[in-house]
Each structure stands twice: as C-alpha cells, then as structure tokens.
Amino acid sequence: MFENLLFQQHLTSTLIREVKDGTLPQSLLFYGDSFSGKLTAALELARVLNCEYGGEWGCQCKSCTQNLSMQHPYVLLTGSRYFMQEINQSGDFLVNNRTKASQYIYIRSVRKLIKRFSEDLWDREDNKYKKCVTSLNKIEDVLYLLEPSQELPADKKTQSTIKKIATECGKLVNELPKGNIPINQIRKISNWVRLSTSGSKKIIILENAELMQDSSRNSLLKVLEEPPVDTYFILISGNKSSILPTILSRVRAYPFKQRDEKEQKLILEKIFKIQNSPKSIKEFFFSYSDYKDETFNIAVKDYLDGCISHNSTFSDTLNIKIDGEYFLRFLEVFTNELMALFRSGDQVLKLNQLEIINQYIKDKIIKFTHFNQNPMLLLETLFYEIKRHIYA
C-alpha cells in the first residue's frame, strides 16, 4: 500500500494501520503544501478500500484495475486542479518515454479531469454539461489508443492523438465551475451516496475544499454529520485554517509534510526520469503552462512595475490574457514579487501599504472563487487600487 507516495512515511504508516485495524474514519482531511502528494494518497486510499485482496501493491483484481485506470464507478472527484499543466507534462513524458508506466501516468492525468464531468455530479439537462459531452466523447474516441493495454501507435500518431486530447481538455477546463464545487454538486453527491452499491465502498474526493462557497460548505456539513455506511469523504486542502471549524470537527486531519529540495528532485528523477531537474515539483509542472520561456513571470513583473509607476495604465502593462486557470497562480507569483520588493529595502513599499495590498489581493481571490468574477477585470481593479493606495 502507498508505495507510490514518496517521502510521507509517517502519514502512510498511519493510514495503513488504520485501514488494517478498521479504525479509518469516514471523513478525512488531507492538508499540506501543494505538490505534496495529497491526491496521490487519496486515490491510493480509494484503491485500497475497494480492493478484493486487502489492498496489496500491484493487485490485479477488477476493482484495482479500474482504480489504476481511473475508471472505478464508485470514486468521485471534484474541485479545482492544475489540469492542463499535468496533462501537457504527462503527454510530453509519454512521447519521450514510450513505456507502460508513462501510459498510465498520461491516462490518469486526463481522467482526473474527465472524472469532474461524471453524470453523478452534473444535471444531464444542463446546457453547460451538454456542451461538454461533445468534448468528452471526442476524448474517449481516441484515448483508448494510448491505454496501457494497447501497443502505442507510431510516434506521429501518438503525438497527434495527444494534441487532439489536449485541445478538448482545454475546452473542458474552461467549463469547470469557477467557484470550486458548487452547491448543486454537493447535493448530487449527497443523493448519490445514499444509493445502494452492491457491496462496494463509495469514495468522494474534494480538492481545494477550502475554496468552496458557504452554501456548498453548509450542504456538505449535513452529509458529514451522518455519512452513510461504506462511504468515505476525503477533503484535500492546502490550508487547514481555511476550513470551517464545524467541518474540521467532523473530519480527522492528516498533515502532509513539505518535501525538501533533495526529496523533490529524487521524485522527479524516479517518476519522470528527469536529469538536472528543477528545484521543486511545482516549478516542474508550471513549466508546462501555456506561458513558455518565462512569459508568465515577465508578465507578473511588468504588472508590478505598472502598479508602482505613477503614469502607467493597465492596458499598457499587461500584454497577455490571464484566464481562470492561471488567475490564482498569477496572484501567488505577484504576492511573492511584492514581498521581494518590500524586502529589497528600496523604500518603494511600506509595511502598512503591503498589508493593505494583501487585503486587496484576498478580496480578488474571494470574488473570483466565490462569485466567478472575470479575472482580467479583477486584475484591472487591483491594479488601480494599488496605484491609488501608493500615491494617495
């Protein structure tokens, strides 16, 4: 069990003991830094719970086979994620390493997104869902060519198939709920867990649970109070303190440690065969964003320069469009640049100004995640708020 979760030994020992002792709770919170293996652990726990032979690593039972290819009918995934970075990276890996392992990595990265469009989470009559069905069908029509059970096509065919899948995945990402797990999905989950399952356990994995709207949190709270038998909720969060205290009181929390640079480099070398790897897994994955050759970081720095320059305008400062997938990442990098500027001692920003600007940033995150406001309009508003505050 959990052989694929590296450098989290204390956590895996606890989970293995609780599974074997029958003391595993039905509601769990996995929390810790991004790229620390929280979803990896959740998916492996889902496999173990439904394994026909005790959850041993490499099991070939029907349930484990379904879980390995991310097709188990009783595992639901919802919530936001860095989908395209992972899909693009694993596609590159498959092209350059034509192995069964790379096929599994690619298939799983795509199905992490596809799983978000399960009929158990959406209303089939929803116009947005109907629009997504076209892309879902186009993906499935060619994804089978890359399944580990198949011999890979020739290089050019493999590359063209990956390109087609990436195009349709990009369309799906744009249709995901921006508020992260809307209340209608929580209601659908609540109904789904009460249906009979012919002996199988149901596992619901909610990523970035701290970003749920208040209505979704309150609805989730009701089902967490008395989860049905053989149902497991796994909440994933980067920030335990952002989870409602009433929800925290109903889950058992499992902390994921921050892996050091050496451990992260070893993971990249072991799994992705990367030599001279980046300093962190996050840096590695975000190198596969839509913004190549430092374009993204340059855009952030230009934006900051514009904010602190007296006569600059927003339209002259930000020359690329930041869509919903990259908005939170943009603000994260921007916040880091602000801190670096403050620590430089150039006296451009005072401490009280930095604190106010951080409040502005938090306000924009809330308006994006909870109220689905336009990322570019939020960045423009933030731009002029900062400028007015600095030059007031």
Continuous H helices in the chain: 9-21, 38-50, 62-68, 83-96, 100-114, 127-143, 155-175, 183-192, 214-225, 245-248, 261-272, 281-286, 295-308, 314-317, 324-343, 351-371, 375-390
Instruction: Write down the pLDDT at residue 271.
Output: 87
The interaxial angle of helices 375-390 and 295-308, nearest 10 deg, is: 40
Identify whether residues 147 and 206 lie together within a single domain: yes
d(CA 181, CA 243): 14
Identify whether residues 133 and 232 lie together within a single domain: yes
CA separation, residue 269 to residues 103, 265, 277, 281, 282 (Å): 17, 6, 7, 11, 14
Asked if residues 265 and 277 have their Cβ atoms less than 8 Å apart, the reply is: yes
Q: Divide the 392 residues of the chain into consecutive groups of 10 and give the mean pLDDT of each group.
A: 91 95 95 91 96 89 93 93 88 92 94 94 87 93 92 93 92 79 91 84 92 85 90 91 88 93 90 79 74 69 90 83 79 86 78 88 85 86 92 76
Identify whether residues 242 and 345 lie together within a single domain: no
Identify whether residues 330 and 277 lie together within a single domain: no
Burial of 359 (0-12, 13-18, 19+ CB in 10 A): exposed
d(CA 75, CA 111): 12
Question: Is 23 among the domain residues?
Answer: yes
Identify whether residues 47 and 152 lie together within a single domain: yes
d(CA 214, CA 38): 23
Identify whether residues 117 and 180 lie together within a single domain: yes
Name 362's Cβ contacts closer than 8 Å, sequence gap at least 6: none
**What one-letter code names the amino acid at 69?**
S
Identify whether residues 35 and 175 lie together within a single domain: yes
Contacts of the segment 7-10: beta carbons below 8 A, 24+ positions apart:
7/257, 7/259, 7/263, 7/266, 7/267, 8/36, 8/37, 8/41, 8/256, 8/257, 10/257
Last residue of a domain, one of 284, 303, 332: 284
Instruction: Write down the pLDDT at residue 112.
Output: 95
- Chain centre distance of CA 203: 17
CA separation, residue 274 to residues 36, 282, 342 (Å): 18, 14, 35
Identify whether residues 246 and 342 lie together within a single domain: no
Per the structure, the count of domains in the chain is: 2
Instruction: Write down the pLDDT at residue 82.
Output: 82
Last residue of a domain, one of 256, 284, 312: 284
Identify whether residues 182 and 222 lie together within a single domain: yes
Last residue of a domain, one of 284, 310, 329: 284
Question: Is 253 among the domain residues?
Answer: yes
Question: Is 25 among the domain residues?
Answer: yes
Instruction: Write down the pLDDT at residue 293.
Output: 43
Domain extent for 352: 290-390
81: left (phi over 0), alpha (psi -120 to 50) or beta: beta
Does the model's pTM come out above 0.95?
Answer: no
Question: Is 2 among the domain residues?
Answer: no
Tokens 């916040």, residue?
Answer: 335
Identify whether residues 250 and 356 lie together within a single domain: no
Provide the CATH number for the domain around residue 185.
Answer: 3.40.50.300
